[in-house]
Amino acid sequence: MNARGLAGYAVLAFPILLLTVFILCPVLIVTLQGFTSGTSFLDVVASPAIQFTIIFTFSQAILSTIMAVCIGLPGAFLIARLRFRGKSLVKAMMIVPFVLPPIVVVVGFLQMFGPYGVIDSILMWIQGSSSSVFNLAKGVPGIILAHTFYNVPLVLLMVSASLERLNPEIEESAEILGATPLQRLRRITLPHIMPSLLAAAVLTFMFCFMSFPIVLAFGQGVYLTIEAQIYNAFRIFDYGQASSLTLIQIVVTLSLAFVYVKLGTREDDSGPTASIKTTTFSRYRLAERCLIIGYLVLIVVLVLGPIATITRASVFDPMAQTYTFDGFTNLFTAGSWYLVNSLFYAGLATMFAVVLGVPLAIAIRSKSKTVPTLASTMILLPLGISSVTVAYGLVLVIAVPLGLITNPWPIIVVAQTIIGLPFSARAIEIAMSKIDSAILEQADSLGASRIQRLLFVELPLLAPGILVGGVFAFAMAIGEMSATLFIALPQNYTLAVAIYHYLGIRAFVEAGAAALVLVIICVIAFLVMERISKGSTGGAL
């Protein structure tokens, strides 16, 4: 191997090495340690409380997935088949929930479905009651609804994209061969969208399976996911329980990730992209129009409602039932540190996520046999491993030996980098795959050296992808709550963690104000992404 090849390998190996140090080692050490101390694996599995948690984790994830698919599927057909003004805007807006931090969604849900929320206020007015009559934002319904909110757009986008790839002549072939609309759906359309529908369902299940902030907020300490129970176990220093649960969770998430990747490769076999046949609203029959309008109302209440009502949450105090600006006043005086912390940590994390994302993306696309597999596994790890476990590993293996325990802010930055990295690396990798290799060969044939080619050709072409990746990583980092909540001491609180604490002490307007600030930051991030990538951010998922 010559010197240049060696340098190349060093650049590619660097991020993989860092990830090994900051994820693999801490998680392995913590997990192994757990099996030698505290409750044993068998005792953990035999405990009725843990069994309940495991069963609840699975059943709520299954139920949420079914809900998301049932509500998302009709919307996917509408998006694909209905022609209307502002369609691209609606599709772009669907991405907003992905960048919204879960704890913000909790605030929105409380305001929409909770006591003295929008729906409750209307019902109270109708019934002439002065106390709350309606509350869906707690317990199992709250958890399921919030998960549905998160994943309906996912199902909608993935399935409608697949529908748009269906060659309209295939459906016409079936039609002219005598198939009724129902037969066409069953024999042609459903088989076509099945891989992407399954992929969306697997992703949804995975998100719900690992759900943390929503369960913590709505579960009332009774209904817990495995992830939330891991958090509890660490807090009572039961490492045995935490490790056992982590192991169970990793086995499940890695199997799901494997299924997802398999589904993804099958999807690529589908036929060429063709323009889909669309109809205008006026072409539908009256009954169909009523169904469509009913569906849109449901989507507005369920998906748009919680986002829109965050504004009300920031100024309406449900305890006193008055409108007030105290939330903002308190947030920007006593709580101004939260915003500074959030921006500082997320900004640093974004920088690292981009700097590491570029070589990782190059590694994924490299031609060698082992390097791409290694790199993509490293990227997927943070998505599959409980972020609470990662946080605990970082505290124990990095922070304690380095004496960072009194002010662990660097550990927060590391955790947020790890959370954002999959998104930045993926966006950069997509941008790389779009570069025409002929352009690079052209640069070679004009005598550019490898460094010149990278600096003057590849990086400028990659710039939009790198920006999108950076913004995505930023949105993930600033909204991150699980790991940050675990690591942060009061002086390290970010906005997301602050919201959780405000909710805990029933300071609802302060929580609302903080949530609104986060929403504004995330929406700006989303607009920037839209602007740069001109509507192709869907691919970054």
Partner 1 sequence: MVEVELRGLIREFSDGSRIGPIDLQVRDGEFLTLLGPSGSGKTTTLRMVAGFIENVGGSLLFDGKDMVNVEPRERHIGMVFQSVALFPNMTVFGNISFGPDMAGWSREKTIERVEELADLLGIRHLLLRKISEVSGGEAQRVALARALATNPKLLLLDEPLSALDLQLRERLQTEIRRIQRKLKITTIYVTHSQDEAFAISDRVAILNDGIVSQVGTPEELYDSPANEFVARFLGSGNVFSGQIKEVSGGHLKVLSNDNWFEIPGEGEINSQIIFSVKPEDVIISDSLPVDWAEAELIAITPQVGSFKVSLDFNGIPIIALTYDEELVMRLRSNGEKTIAFAFKTESIIILGN
For partner 1, the binding residues (CB under 8 A) are 167, 169-170, 172-180, 183, 187-188, 191-192, 269-272, 274
The dihedrals phi and psi of 280, each to the nearest 5 degrees, come to: -90, 160
CA 154, CA 150: separation in Å to the nearest integer? Answer: 8
Least distance (Å) between residue 256 CB and partner 1:
24
Helices 336-365 and 508-533: angle between axes, nearest 10 degrees: 30
Return the number of the residue (178 or 403) whose C-beta is nearest partner 1.
Answer: 178
Return the number of the residue (187 or 450) whose C-beta is nearest partner 1.
Answer: 187
Least distance (Å) between residue 37 CB and partner 1:
53
Category of 270 on φ-ψ map: left (φ > 0), alpha (ψ -120 to 50) or beta:
beta
Contact present, 497 and 337 (Cβ < 8 Å): no
Return the number of the residue (20 or 167) whose C-beta is nearest partner 1.
Answer: 167
Q: How far, in whole angstroms, is CA 423 from its chain's centroid?
A: 10
CA 121, CA 101: separation in Å to the nearest integer? Answer: 26
Length of the chain counted residue by residue: 541
Structure-block tokens of residue 5: 């090849």
Return the number of the residue (175 or 326) whose C-beta is nearest partner 1.
Answer: 175
Helices 102-113 and 495-504: angle between axes, nearest 10 degrees: 40
Return the number of the residue (279 or 373) whose C-beta is nearest partner 1.
Answer: 279
Residue 54: closest CA among 238, 252, 260, 255: 252
Least distance (Å) between residue 182 CB and partner 1:
11
Least distance (Å) between residue 163 CB and partner 1:
15
Counting beta carbons within 10 angstroms of the beta carbon of residue 291, is it exposed (0 to 12), middle (13 to 18) or buried (19 or more)?
middle
Return the number of the residue (173 or 373) whose C-beta is nearest partner 1.
Answer: 173
Specify the 3-state DSSP secondary structure of 264: helix
Least distance (Å) between residue 278 CB and partner 1:
12
Least distance (Å) between residue 537 CB and partner 1:
29
Q: What residues contact residue 370 under an 8 Å CB cut-off, 6+ apart? A: none
Tell how strand 316-317 and strand 322-323 pair up.
antiparallel
Counting beta carbons within 10 angstroms of the beta carbon of residue 182, is it exposed (0 to 12), middle (13 to 18) or buried (19 or more)?
exposed
Least distance (Å) between residue 179 CB and partner 1:
5
CA 428, CA 401: separation in Å to the nearest integer? Answer: 34
Return the number of the residue (282 or 437) whose C-beta is nearest partner 1.
Answer: 282
Structure-block tokens of residue 398: 């990095």
- Other C-beta atoms lying within 10 Å of the C-beta of residue 106: 27
Return the number of the residue (170 or 432) whose C-beta is nearest partner 1.
Answer: 170
Least distance (Å) between residue 541 CB and partner 1:
25
Return the number of the residue (172 or 441) whose C-beta is nearest partner 1.
Answer: 172
Least distance (Å) between residue 185 CB and partner 1:
13
